[in-house]
Copies of this chain bind each other. A is one copy, B any other.
Amino acid sequence: MFFELVHKDKKSKARAGLIKTDHGEIETPIFMPVGTQGTVKTLSPRNLIEVNASVILGNTYHLYLRPGHELINRMGGLHRFISWDRAILTDSGGFQVFSLKELRKIDEEGILFQSHLDGSYHKFTPELVLEIQRNLGSDIMMVLDECAPYPSTKEYAQKANKLTLKWAKEAREIFDNFKPLYDHRQQLFAIVQGGIYKDIREESAKALVAMDFPGYAIGGLAVGEPKETMFEITDFCTDILPENKPRYLMGVGMPEDIILAVERGVDMFDCVIPTRNARNGTVFTANGKMILKSGRFKDDPKPIDSDCTCYVCRNFSRAYLRHLYNANEILGLKLATLHNVHFYLWLTREARKAIIENRFFDWKQKILQNITKVIEN
């Protein structure tokens, strides 16, 4: 069995689960660090292991353009290429192409787009993105979808959803006869779309559930809509999605968002915030976030977070980290990233523990008190 529901919270929809891949087990709720171009920016695989990452994300769009899925195939697949023997999830490329805006054209067959690297034309079809992900050898693949922007008219969201369902059907049929290239299994997740319209979301989710995928993502959120709308739609979708399949809320988010989505029954998360914000000098802790470059830390001998057990907090002061940023030293970007990814994984691990020990509500209440603050001393 690919997914096992381990425990359900009594006071909310929060759940602890276990995803079983041929590259190890993934305890959920889980945060998946984003390795866009075959590396979680600044981190080496052993850094990811030390922070207990059990699955990382790769971007089909980026890896297809550079270095190319055929080259990665010749190098033995993505796991071997990047020297990572735990699980990998790859997205479908749909969201990246959606982000190109001016450089794309959508029809029934797929999405025509221009490379952001050299302007060359490419067309993603449900078939091609599966073939790319087959070459990458990711443990979890995603179907091609059309993500409606926010705001969208209901008509647009309806149309995008119809196309998404058509492509999901095509992908499901290909997956029925899927032969992996490497010596491990690959699963396929479908993506619920429908914008902020509940009736379209319902249509989307029910149709995809009827096709019986190994897992389901909730897409098209965290694209500009109000936070409360995001949680409302998430909550609505998880009511429809089956209990015995993992649920993945794509592109979310801030630490507090993850907690609130776990409460609404989400199992999996990915987001560039911990890595990107680290490179901009912002680090996260259970007591709030901290702008490392701030002059207030210039001779602060304390670690980022004295309760944190990561390599960075065990060894370096805020003063040193601030100096590294001030002096434009790459080590600063790396240490802040390591801390942030450690923190995000700590957060989903703590959520899981709290769920299993039937104290998720209290844990959530307590951690939300401080996690959104800005640390000033």
Q: Which of A34-42, A153-161, A212-220 participates in binding chain B?
A: A34-42
Considering the complex, which residues of chain A in the window 129-165 have a beta carbon less than 8 Å from any beta carbon of chain B? none
Q: In chain A between 328 and 358, which residues have their CB closer than 8 angstroms to a CB of chain B?
A: 329-331, 333-335
* A46-B311, A334-B334 known; A299+B41 contact, CB < 8 A: no
The answer on a CB contact under 8 Å between A329 and B299 is: no
Q: Which of A284-338 contact B (CB under 8 A)?
A: 298-299, 301, 311, 315-317, 319-320, 323-324, 326-327, 329-331, 333-335
Check A331 against B298 for contact (C-beta < 8 Å). Answer: no
Give the complex CA separation of A299 and B69 in angstroms: 12
| A75 lies within 8 A of B301 (CB) | yes
Partner of A329, one of B37, B75, B315, B335: B37
B334 touches A75 (CB 8 A): no
The answer on a CB contact under 8 Å between A44 and B323 is no
Which residue of chain B has the shortest Cβ distance to A42 in the bound complex?
B330
The verdict on A43 contacting chain B, using a C-beta distance below 8 Å, is yes
The answer to the question of A74 belonging to the interface, with a C-beta cut-off of 8 Å to chain B, is: yes
Does A81 sit at the interface, judged by CB under 8 A?
Answer: yes
Measured between C-beta atoms, what is the minimum distance from A354 to chain B in Å?
Answer: 32
- The answer on a CB contact under 8 Å between B75 and A317 is yes
Closest to A319 in B: B75
Interface flag for A24 (CB, 8 Å) = no
Q: Is the Cβ of B326 less than 8 Å from the Cβ of A44?
A: no
Across the interface, A331 reaches (CB within 8 A) one of B42, B320, B329, B335, namely B42
Does the CB pair B44–A320 fall under 8 Å?
A: no
B333 and A81 contact, CB distance less than 8 A:
no
Q: Which of A41, A76, A311, A323 has the largest number of chain B CB atoms within 10 A? A: A323
B330-A67 in contact (CB<8A): no
- Interchain nearest-CB distance for A51 vs B (Å): 14
**Nearest chain B CB to A275 CB, angstrom units:** 11
Given the complex of chains A and B, what is the CA–CA distance between A328 and B253 in angstroms? 25
A323 and B66 contacting across the interface, CB-CB below 8 Å: yes
Q: Which residues of B have CB within 8 Å of A326?
A: 66-67
Complex Cα gap A46–B76 (Å): 31
Which residues of chain B have C-beta atoms less than 8 A from A334's C-beta?
A: 42, 44, 330, 334
Q: Which residues of B contact A38 (CB under 8 A)?
A: 320, 323-324, 327, 329
**In this assembly, does A226 line the interface, its C-beta being within 8 Å of a C-beta of chain B?**
no
Q: A71-B299, A76-B301, A311-B46 are in contact. Are A41 and B319 (CB under 8 A)?
A: no
Chain B CB within 10 Å — which of A38, A44, A66 has the most? A44
Give chain B nearest CB distance to A76 CB in angstroms. 7
> Which chain B residues border A371 with CB–CB below 8 Å?
none
Chain B residues with CB under 8 Å of A331's CB are 39, 41-44
A82 within 8 A of B: yes
What separation, in Å, do the CA atoms of A81 and B323 have in the docked complex? 10
A42 neighbours in B (Cβ, 8 Å): 330-331, 334
From A37, which residue of chain B is reached at the shortest CB distance? B327
- Distance of A299 Cα from B335 Cα, bound (Å): 31
Which A residues are within 8 Å of any B CB, using their own CB? 37-39, 41-46, 62, 66-67, 71, 74-76, 81-83, 298-299, 301, 311, 315-317, 319-320, 323-324, 326-327, 329-331, 333-335
Other than the known A46-B311, A330-B334, what 7 A-B pairs have Cβ atoms closer than 8 Å?
A42-B334, A66-B323, A67-B327, A71-B319, A74-B299, A75-B317, A81-B317
